[in-house]
Amino acid sequence: MSELSKIAIIGGGLAGCECARKLSHAGVAVTIFEMKPEKYSPAHSYEGLAELVCSNSFRSDQPDAAVGILKQEMREMDSLVLEAAEATRVPAGKALAVNRELFSNYITKAITEDENITLVHKEITSLDAEELAEFDAVVLAAGPLASDALSESLAQAIDATHLYFYDAIAPIVTADSINMDIAFWGSRYNPEDTDYLNCALNEEEYHALREALIAGEKAPTKDFEKEIHFEGCMPIEALAERGEMTLAFGSFKPVGFTDPRTGERPFALVQLRTENLNKTMFNLVGCQTKLKYKEQDRIFRMIPGLENAEFVRYGSVHRNTYVNAPETLTTELALKNRPNIYLAGQITGVEGYVESAACGLWVGTLLAAKAKKLQLSEPPAETCLGGLLAHLRTEQKNFQPANVQFGLTPALNRKARKKERKALYAQRARETFTAWLEEQKETLDDCCL
């Protein structure tokens, strides 16, 4: 009998269901512990599995978009989530959107009718719960709103400083959309530093930006997020409201800088920190925000040097339980100090419906191969799935969840016009994934496809 003949999954969301179906196809007995309808998180209300809480959109289906390519990679790995999405699709232009209830019903039916999957409606409050004792491995796929008790158990299993409960995310822009005639390199007191770009503001520009931040339309705060306004998670617009010079004395402090255009210290300054090794993306330091996306487009482009900024991720401040994956997880997404416990979905440090499902799909595929004692190599970093997985093991000073994006994959290492790069990244990703599938065909066929 296989050493992984019985696996428990905590959570019946996108990642958990994706993982369970993949294991079932390998002949592994799976038990999903889902606390609904016995108990609901503050954000959930529907009894079915894989409930979509926020948007009903799985974002772009365009063949040159990173998320579109990730979805195609998932389809080729027999994704239950995308099977359900296609079956319950509603018109949404170039995006893949679904009817929420029909989508949940489809996945619930697929799971409950699978003879290898047992669905238990029970809350698991500890990684050491007696209900888990009989299983060879446990997959924690509890999502970004994992219960307090389960989160506390996870914190005890790892260094609690590596478990986060809130995201304070600043926008990220592409490097080649920054006006380098205005922005300049350097960190405070170290002009030779090339980890930061700086955008200087004069007095008039600073006050106009502050007023726009205060007046900008904000995304509504959900009931379960109302406790998030502590100092380390304060939205920039809330800081701006505190006083006329709060930002200039805080995250926009110009001390230690000289604007090369004027030879003088700026009135205020916005720093952009490099987001990846290739320096193709930059994070707007201190600009975490609850502004609506269209407002972020408008207001942050008021910063000199960002007038034509291309956003690859917008800012947000919201409840999200996740681990510092590079510090706490193995390359197989198991806890380093408890290797029979795997994590899947947003709790690993990926962001978004598609990314969470992709993570669950990969963990299920990996465990299916292990159950059959087969060797399975990870998708190369040039693929969108491989790039997302690489993010989870790349150490950073401030690890934060990431959506799939080409910036997570290696640089092209060739010159190309800006408008051609996305297509080149897309082409490389598709060709590399196709080659990987062919190389792993025998293993994938034997274990779960």
Q: Binding site: residue ranges?
A: 11-16
Token pair for 284 = 């707007």
What separation in angstroms does the CA of 441 have from each of 83, 359, 437? 21, 20, 6
Q: Where are any strands of DSSP class E within 311-421?
A: 311-313, 316-323, 334-335, 338-343
Token output for 101: 């209830």
DSSP state of 222: P
Q: Is 216 helix (H, G, I), strand (E, B) or coil?
A: coil
Which residues are documented as binding site for FAD?
Answer: 11-16
User: Phi and psi of 72, rounded to 5°?
Assistant: -65, -40
Left, alpha or beta for 134 (phi > 0: left; psi -120 to 50: alpha)? alpha
- Total count of residues recorded for the chain: 449
Radius of gyration of the chain (CA): 23
Phi then psi for 366, rounded to 5 degrees? -65, -45
Contact between residue 380 and residue 440 where contact means Cβ atoms under 8 Å apart? no
Written as six digits, the tokens of 191 are: 């002009």
